[in-house]
Amino acid sequence: MFNSKRTVRRLGLLVISIIGVIMVLDFILQKKELRHVARSDQALSSRSLEDQERNHTKEPALMINEMKKIVSETEDNDTSGRINEQLMHERTEHVRNKCKYLGLGNANALPPMSDYIVVDEKFKVVYCMVPKIASTSWTKLFLSQHLTTPYQNITWQTWHKTWRKYMKELHRYPMNERIKILQSYTKFMFVRDPLDRIVSAFKNKFTFKGKSNQKEYEWYGKAYGKAIVKKYRKNPTLRSLQDGLGITFEEFIQYITNDAPHKDEHWKSVYLLCHPCDINYDYIGNFYDATNESNFILNRIHLETIKFPSENVLTKNGGFGVNGTKLKYAYQKIPKSTLSKLEYLYEKDYALFSEDFHFKKVTGLL
């Protein structure tokens, strides 16, 4: 593949050279013609001739530079693609080796049961959509292709009601089809620091932001907040016991570590959602370099004309993981003993992904 790309680039440069020669010859001929006209027509001023010559000189130069720019961009994209391909290969190999070393899972076992490992038959992909790791952006992007509707025109309500019609859970297929899909489709997932993801889940589900999250805020208050207030709040008000709204981050962490560590998909571990030791993923993306790596994956699944949307994807730090200072600040009021329990709950995520994705344990930052 790389040899063919080099050949294409060489042909591109050869074409540019030929066009350049033709343009220069054309310029010389036009220049002679202009001088001939100037001698026979005294009304044509010497200044006018200079202006025309200058314009004719500029055009071929601009065209050649533009074509060089196109070739340069193609080379840059090829280089970036090779780098990402190598990076993804190293990650997946590292995860497979870790799984074997730790005795986790079996890539030859029956496909796992998970509502979050979904299949898009049109684009022949298996995607593990992990909440709080750009999953809305990815599923909304696929939905936009199915509906032939611009990404930005798809409302949250449309996405929420519709996307699973086009992306079915892997475990709903007959067993023989599941095996074929896993063998032939492109399989990918994304990873995020578990403690950073917990902070994001709390802010999104338990912090009121107005109409944009009011329904979710109230739903999570009833589903989890009431129990959290009742068990972990000293002297709760009658209203807080009834609606479960306004829980603190400290109360939320107590609930996760003591009562429901993996009850909800928004803070359930990536290991339990995606089963990376049971499925040989082709690509494991980094949330902290989501735009770059998502565009790379889009290219690999033949959606190269589409750019990954920046919606809900914050400006990251070039793939170097979560900001340790911000993480330390978020957990500063959590007792170290509770933090140790919390980190233990995500020990498999740390074991499999910490080295490649620069996870940070807050206990080591305090």
Cβ(240)–Cβ(233) under 8 Å? Answer: yes
Strands 168-169 and 117-120: antiparallel
Q: What is the pLDDT along the chain (366 residues), one digit of tens a residue?
A: 444 444 445 555 454 555 554 554 554 455 444 444 444 444 434 444 344 444 444 444 444 344 444 444 444 566 778 899 999 999 999 999 999 999 998 766 666 788 999 999 999 999 999 999 999 999 999 999 999 999 999 998 899 999 999 999 999 999 999 999 999 999 999 999 999 999 999 999 999 988 888 999 999 999 999 999 999 999 999 999 999 999 999 999 999 999 877 889 999 999 999 999 999 999 999 999 999 999 999 999 999 999 998 665 554 455 567 788 889 999 999 999 999 999 999 999 999 999 889 888 887 766
- Closest among 304, 266, 293 to 356, alpha carbons compared: 293
Residue 283: per-residue pLDDT: 98
Residue 20: per-residue pLDDT: 53
Residue 105: per-residue pLDDT: 82
Mind spelling out the 3-state secondary structure of 192-204?
CCHHHHHHHHHHH
Q: Where are the beta strands (DSSP E) in the chain?
A: 117-120, 125-128, 168-169, 186-191, 283-286
Q: What residue ranges do the domains of the chain occupy?
A: 2-76, 117-196+263-364
3-state helix, strand, coil in the chain (%, to 5): 65, 5, 30
pTM of the model: 0.76
Integer Cα distance of 72 and 45 in angstroms: 41
Residue 116: per-residue pLDDT: 95
Residue 284: per-residue pLDDT: 97
Residue 326: burial class (beta carbons within 10 Å; 0-12, 13-18, 19+): exposed
Residue 47: per-residue pLDDT: 45
- Closest among 117, 259, 272 to 182, alpha carbons compared: 117
Integer Cα distance of 353 and 269 in angstroms: 12
Integer Cα distance of 66 and 316 in angstroms: 32
